[in-house]
Structure 1
């Protein structure tokens, strides 16, 4: 990675199709592995633009290439982390950590002391990665219509 730059998504951003490609590429390993399928499959460039209007969104730029993204939503006592995505070729190079650091800063600015995320039960490697980043499993949940656990919730207390 050359000089990685983290930028907030705002009205000046116009590469929504490229951002969607990043998310779908980053989440492709889940296809056929998780049930129900990822909600990322229902995203469109327009829905991402709307998501960025309603949530805090950040992208990691490696020169002119979008290497990663994260979306965050304030909840009453926590900042929810969603759609944390890093291109496969950029993984294990600090991109996810840098995006998560932006989420921590945003949480602090909002007076929130906890980050929360959900990850699918089948994606044990994600559980391990998030645990390494300081997240702890706090709950299990199931998608509507399922009689088994489909997701786990993880939280991280921040200073």
Structure 2
């Protein structure tokens, strides 16, 4: 399993976008509204804090500081690398970043329908803290999960 989790270089961003698009595609028939990954571009990724693992890249995440927490988004892991502790390694690195920024929690959003995603993040210490709805939706469409930074 790759342990070299590092900030993505500019020339790696096309591969990051490809990984996200491939690994999020399974959601198309399961979630509404469609994934925000369809609005992602390489240029847009240059404005974010993207972390990757492997060479070639087999996992990624996008970290965004918010006023009171670090947002963890667009986590994607190639299927061959799942179940080997890579998600935990990514979350550990996110915790390091949160500590550097003096943020006490990490939050993520996951679609209501993606129970397997909720379970995976629960295994690495996240707990559901609330639900919410996308603009224009009467029912909840996502959950927010949070992890305290140790």
Interval containing the TM-score (normalised by the shorter chain): over 0.9
Aligned equivalent of 1:86, options 77, 82, 95:
77
Q: Do the aligned partners of 2:3 and 2:89 also contact (CA within 8 Å) in 1?
A: no
Distance 1:138 1:123 in 2: 16
Contact 1:78/1:107 (8 A) holds in 2: yes
Match of 1:57 among 47, 50, 55: 50
User: Shift of the alpha carbon at 1:50?
Assistant: 2.4
List alignment gaps of at least 5 residues for structure 1: none
TM-score, length of structure 2 as denominator length: 0.93
Could you say what the CA RMSD is over the residues aligned between the two structures, in angstroms?
Answer: 1.3
User: Which portions of structure 1, spanning 4 or more consecutive aligned residues, are displaced by more than 4 angstroms?
Assistant: none
1:107 to 2:98 alignment: yes
Distance, in Å, in 1 between the alignment partners of 2:91 and 2:34 is: 24
2:37 paired residue number: 40
Task: Report the secondary structure of 1:131's partner residue.
Answer: helix
Partner of 2:24: 27
Q: Is the 8 A contact 1:67 1:95 kept in 2?
A: no
Structure-1-length-normalised TM-score: 0.88
Which residues of structure 2 form unaligned runs of 5+?
Answer: none
Task: Measure how far apart 1:16 and its partner are.
Answer: 2.0
